[in-house]
Structure 1
Amino acid sequence: MRKNLIASVAFLLASSTAVLAQSATDGKVKIGILNDQSGVYADFGGKSSVEAAKMAVEDFGGKVLDVPVEIVDADHQNKPDIASNIARQWYDTEQVDAIMELTTSSVALAVQAIGKEKKKIDIVTGAATTDLTGKACSPYGFHWAYDTHALAVGTGGALVKQGGDSWFFLTADYAFGYSLEQQTSDYVKASGGKVVGAVRHPLSSQDFSSFLLQAQSSGAKVIGLANAGLDTSNAIKQAAEFGITQGGQHLAALLFTLAEVHGLGLEAAQGLTLTEGYYWNRDDESRAFAKKFFARTGKMPNMIHAGTYSAVTQYLKAVQKAGTDETEAVAKQLHEMPVDDVFGRGGTVGANGRMIHDMYLLQVKKPSESKEPWDYFNVLATIPGKEAYIDPAKSGCDLVK
């Protein structure tokens, strides 16, 4: 009887271990959406990214490995210290398995460093710096929607080809702005152009007059706005007051999305060239997704919103395929699995965590060209992913052999 009892206990322990290996480690899968919900990037991502994440969970069925999937969210206020405190609390006491979105490059770099330390997954859709998959790469860090190199190749490359061979940069004074200015400068110079100067402004600036006057007096053919969100919108509005474009200089909005065009209006934004990883009016599949998103948010999605939907969906697919939410197993699947959804068609993930997918060169329509609300862009070109993104082997990531 004793032998039978021991055998039965051993069998039960082995069975429970096997079940645990094929399930969530704590009875649920929990994803945190951490981004700017009240500041300069609130329209860029914000609460709409949270809704995109919830859409992804609902479309997946609300469960994975027979356990519920939960979305939590918080506003990091574009401050790395606040973001770091939230990330540590989520990881240490609230059983969050992965953090996503992470608008603002300084925030994303800080949170990714914590994830590397604690062996937790992050998927960045809102920040742009290539350092995330370069010198600051992590075996558990992934960069999804776009980056500064893709923006430089798209918008910067298009304007140089059109004759914009001299540039002056108006740059947000933090990691994202530096990276975007550097990547675009390198691309302009490699294409035969030159950079005549640059000036840096604080995040969330209200008055761009002194910066714009420096750009205007430089005589550069192109003024590159290496900023985003309300900073870009405000710079464009104030540039119009100075008559900059009327004087023959061209404004390059290096990170400008559908959300900012809508806020600025077609009258002010018409003619701007920009690069996005997604456009809602591209085809029937993207339109169907956008209409579902609009019903929840009252707006059409930009690449941050669609990218967040894709990131959450791919994470859940990876958990399902791995049979567990254990970090190493899920990260392995994220690196190996192809990406094929409404956002990342034919996408692949490099050894450095960069999701490689096509980007789109867009031009803002004239008001007379727009056929319906939110019909804002003409698609000028599709930029293949291998052209848009840095070869992982050349990224500077020490994970790439």
Structure 2
Amino acid sequence: MVALAAVLALFAPSGAGGGERRPLKIAMFADLSSVYSQSGGKGAIEAARMAIEDFGASAGAPVGFVFADPHNNAKNGAAIARKWYAEGVDVIADVPNSAVALAVQQVSREAKRIVLFSSPASDDLTGPSCSPYSVHWTYDTYAAAHGTAQAIINAGGDSWFFITADYAFGDAMERDASDVIRSEGGMVLGGARAPLGTMDFSRYLLQAKNSQATVVGLAVAGQDMINALRQASEFSIVQDGQRLAGLLVSIADVNSLGLQIAQGLRMTSAYYWDQNDATRRWAARFFAKTKRMPTMVQAGVYGALAHYLKAVQAVGGADAEAVMAKMRETPINDFMTHDGRLRIDGRVVRDMYLFEAKTPAESKYPWDYLKLLQTIPADEAFRPLGEGGCPLVSER
């Protein structure tokens, strides 16, 4: 963990002419060393810096920026968040783990300060645990399950065995995918729980193979997803007649695996760098800084902070109530989102996209990994507002 004293010392006016204005203080959690370091990590920090470069000057005050790695530990995340808010941090961005995010969201609610989630997936963040001060920006388990699982069910995958991350994200992903499967008349034949950071998935894959389920659903993410998919190939899961469903696959995972292994995988995403001219222009800027194409999480960090900074400019300050109201009333339009909107439960609603990993022969240039199968309209992609159990909905 980064030492807090050193972290907070970075909060200083960024440029001359600030006068008596208090700097706007932006903090961020990032996984710099563990399972989510490729999908978020240093790239997410760079995306945040890009948003501050592009929109920070218009916010009406100097901007300070700092980050820390909570090491996927909810207690660490809550303690750092509490300290940051006490020191005057206005907004916390990203948070690379659902369990940490749920803990940070509670601290945010108590402090009445804003938190912007891009990495965490659990849709409980906008369900029973929802907060008037949090924004779930990029995607969630409901969207991922209803995109990828629905497509696989439509293609005949009617019986499933889950290998699930043993914490809040995995719980939510398996639950949401199971709801889709059962609603379509399918069956869940069993499952296994894998600790975060599992290196050897062999015993879980053997259970999946012995279940004779049509589909092996992988409700894991990041390096865990890479390990599971690579070892599934070694176990000849697909070759022996079962299908693999990676319920949260990123372009970083495909890049690590290579198309020889990843080909045919279907995934639901809010962003792919090669969709259109706007996505390519932003990706080119990101690539120039990182030498990698951005994931949807990294693109979402930029989008969330850009929307926040525009709201700060519009209301003339960082008051959380005023900024959240402005963010909700302002349509979201950027390189990855068209006419998106922020609901009262904290969910950003936007179109999602179902992609399939190309075969090696189909890929024509570096990072040419995915082909679009379907655009999922916003109102179909995300859970209906009244079904999540968010208390803020009934209070309206």
TM-score, normalised relative to structure 1: 0.92
Residue 106 of structure 2 is matched in structure 1 by 113
Match of 2:34 among 30, 39, 45: 39
Find the aligned partners of 1:113 and 1:25 in 2 and give their Cα distance: 32
Q: Give the unaligned 5+ runs of structure 1.
A: 1-22
Structure 1 segment 372-387 matched on structure 2, within 5 A: 372-387=365-380
Residue 4 of structure 2 is matched in structure 1 by none
Q: CA deviation at 1:265?
A: 1.0
1:253, 1:274 within 8 Å by CA — same for their partners in 2?
Answer: yes
Is the aligned partner of 1:50 residue 2:45?
Answer: yes
Change beyond 3 A, Cα 1:65–1:42: closer
Q: Deviations over 1:200-249 (max 9, x none)?
A: 01000011111110000000010000010010110111111111110010
Residue 165 of structure 2 is matched in structure 1 by 172
Aligned amino acid, residue 335 of structure 1: R
Find the aligned partners of 1:255 and 1:143 in 2 and give their Cα distance: 16
SS of match in other structure, 2:390: coil
1:135, 1:398 within 8 Å by CA — same for their partners in 2?
Answer: yes
Residue 314 of structure 1 is matched in structure 2 by 307
Is the aligned partner of 1:345 residue 2:338?
Answer: yes
Change beyond 3 A, Cα 1:25–1:152: farther
Q: Deviations over 1:119-144 (max 9, x none)?
A: 01001000000110000000001100
Q: CA deviation at 1:372?
A: 0.7
SS of match in other structure, 1:207: coil
Aligned amino acid, residue 30 of structure 2: N
- Bigger CA drift: 95-104 or 158-167? 95-104
Aligned amino acid, residue 225 of structure 2: T
Is the aligned partner of 1:97 residue 2:90?
Answer: yes
Is the aligned partner of 1:30 residue 2:12?
Answer: no
- What is the root-mean-square deviation in Å for CA atoms of aligned residues? 1.3
Match of 1:215 among 208, 220, 234: 208
Find the aligned partners of 2:233 and 2:19 in 1 and give their Cα distance: 54
Is the aligned partner of 1:74 residue 2:68?
Answer: yes
SS of match in other structure, 1:67: coil
Q: Deviations over 1:54-102 (max 9, x none)?
A: 1111122x32343122221111110111111111111112x21100111
Q: CA deviation at 1:369?
A: 0.5
Find the aligned partners of 2:384 and 2:340 in 1 and give their Cα distance: 14
Residue 54 of structure 2 is matched in structure 1 by 59
Aligned residues: 377
1:24, 1:324 within 8 Å by CA — same for their partners in 2?
Answer: no
Change beyond 3 A, Cα 1:233–1:139: same
Residue 227 of structure 1 is matched in structure 2 by 220
Change beyond 3 A, Cα 1:65–1:149: closer
1:171, 1:198 within 8 Å by CA — same for their partners in 2?
Answer: yes
Find the aligned partners of 1:270 and 1:300 in 2 and give their Cα distance: 18
Residue 10 of structure 2 is matched in structure 1 by none
Residue 256 of structure 1 is matched in structure 2 by 249
Find the aligned partners of 1:137 and 1:129 in 2 and give their Cα distance: 11
Match of 1:392 among 376, 385, 396: 385
Q: Deviations over 1:133-182 (max 9, x none)?
A: 00000000110000000001110000000000110000000000000000
Structure 1 segment 226-305 matched on structure 2, within 5 A: 226-305=219-298
Find the aligned partners of 1:293 and 1:31 in 2 and give their Cα distance: 20
Q: CA deviation at 1:31?
A: 1.2
Find the aligned partners of 1:66 and 1:324 in 2 and give their Cα distance: 7
SS of match in other structure, 1:367: coil
- Bigger CA drift: 152-161 or 235-244? 235-244
Aligned amino acid, residue 37 of structure 1: L
Q: Give structure 1 regions of 4+ aligned residues with deviation exceeding 2 angstroms.
A: 23-26
Find the aligned partners of 2:291 and 2:264 in 1 and give their Cα distance: 25
Change beyond 3 A, Cα 1:25–1:105: farther
2:21, 2:61 within 8 Å by CA — same for their partners in 1?
Answer: no
Residue 141 of structure 2 is matched in structure 1 by 148
Find the aligned partners of 1:66 and 1:78 in 2 and give their Cα distance: 34
1:24, 1:326 within 8 Å by CA — same for their partners in 2?
Answer: no
TM-score, normalised relative to structure 2: 0.93
Residue 13 of structure 2 is matched in structure 1 by none
Is the aligned partner of 1:362 residue 2:355?
Answer: yes
- Bigger CA drift: 25-34 or 326-335? 25-34
Q: CA deviation at 1:322?
A: 1.3
Match of 2:80 among 70, 75, 86: 86
Is the aligned partner of 1:325 residue 2:318?
Answer: yes
Find the aligned partners of 2:339 and 2:100 in 1 and give their Cα distance: 29
Percent pairwise identity: 48
Q: Which has the larger radius of gyration?
A: 1
